Amino acid sequence: MIINTVKGQVKPEFKEKFIAHMAELAETVRAEKGCITYDLNVDTENELVLFLYEKWESKEDILAHLATEHMQSHLAEAQPWFDSLEMETFESTKFDLF
The Cα–Cα gap between 50 and 8 comes to 5
Question: Taking Cα atoms as reference points, which of 81, 61, 62 lies closest to residue 5?
Answer: 62
Chain segment 24-82, per-residue pLDDT in tens: 999 999 999 999 999 999 999 999 999 999 999 999 999 999 999 999 999 999 999 99
Sheet holding 35-42, edge to edge: 35-42, 49-56, 2-10, 82-91
Domains of the chain plus CATH, in order, are: 2-91 (3.30.70.100)
* DSSP code of residue 34: T
pLDDT, position 95: 79
Q: With contact defined as beta carbons under 8 Å apart, do 22 and 39 qualify? A: no
